[in-house]
Amino acid sequence: MSQTAQSAPDEQPLLSTRFLLRTTAVIAVLAVLTVAISIGGRWFGRHISLAGNSDSPAEITLTIGRDMVKLPENTIRFPSQRHEGAAERVDLYLAWPDMRGYGEDNHLRFDDVAQSSGLIFLQIAQSTMSRDMSGRLEPIYSHLIEGQAVAFRDGLTLHRLRADAGYGEEVLLTAAIKGGADYVVRCILPSTPDKATSGDCQRDIKVGKDLSVLYRFSSSHLDDWEHIDAAIRTFVEARLVNRSATGA
């Protein structure tokens, strides 16, 4: 056997070109997967942390009955309602007293049940009644009241409702408003202040052309009843697309 034939095997490369190409391709695929997992993990983690909330301030325009309202996305409670167009109703939540929606700086007030008393819950829908809660005091609620009215606190008067009225443990609180209809709110008053819930008081008002705004808040904020009522009306009226129609 010649010397040339003997040395031929020793001159073959240790790593073939095909092997190097396959290795390079595998490394590239792994790198792409790593980046994808990193990005996807951050996206998934963000959505898990939001838990159905949105921190986007982008405005969504909704048509409810004869009214059009433009609302920040982060004030709308349910993802299914965060879309443009016609809607039967929209549910909102706002931090009190700044009247802001969900955000990075205040997310614990929305995420932590222990802090939920600092929220106000709204439901905006087309009105199905000709009168709001204040307007129903004389024609409806006055016939359901039993016993003597009792001075409550913060300018409010407490009225007990008949057991057969269908309101369970709720009581009626009223207050005279200069130049306007009486303030009226229904509440389930806790036995002790620490047992107040995030929505044990509720009231509805009329806004715009034909909107009914039902809102719920904690009885722990009854001392702010007048400010809350004014703030909610201002919040909704300021977001009506045709503000000149307010009160029409």
DSSP 122-182: EEEEE--SSS-TTTTTTTTGGGTEEEEEEE-STT-EEEEEPGGGS-TT-EEEEE--TTSPP
Residues 99 and 203: their CA atoms lie apart, in Å, by: 17
Q: Which residue has the higher pLDDT, 33 or 70?
A: 70
Mean residue pLDDT of the chain comes to 86
What pLDDT is recorded for position 70?
Answer: 98
pTM for this predicted structure? 0.78
Distance from C-alpha of 196 to C-alpha of 199, rounded to nearest angstrom: 8
Q: Read off the pLDDT of residues 42-80 as tens digits, 9 standing for 90 and up.
A: 544 444 445 699 999 999 999 999 999 999 999 999 999
- Give the model's confidence band at 41: pLDDT under 50 very low, under 70 low, under 90 confident, else very high: very low
Report whether pLDDT(21) > 80: no
Q: What is the average pLDDT across 85-101?
A: 97
Measured CA to CA, the distance from residue 158 to residue 189 in angstroms comes to 11
With bands split at pLDDT 50, 70 and 90, how would you rate the model's confidence at 89? very high
| Structure confidence at residue 188 (pLDDT) | 97
C-alpha span between 136 and 161 (Å, rounded): 14
Taking only the tens place, the pLDDT of each residue in 137-183 is 999 999 999 999 999 999 999 999 999 999 999 999 999 999 999 99
Flag whether pLDDT at 28 surpasses 90.
Answer: no
User: Residue 208: how many CB atoms within 10 A of its CB?
Assistant: 27
Run of H or E residues at 6 = helix 3-7
pLDDT for 27 = 72
Is pLDDT above 80 for 238? yes
Q: Which residue has better confidence, 27 or 138?
A: 138
Q: Which helix (H) or strand (E) holds 102?
A: none
**Residue 140: per-residue pLDDT:** 96
Mean predicted confidence (pLDDT) in 202-226: 97
Q: pLDDT above 90 covers what percent of the chain? A: 73
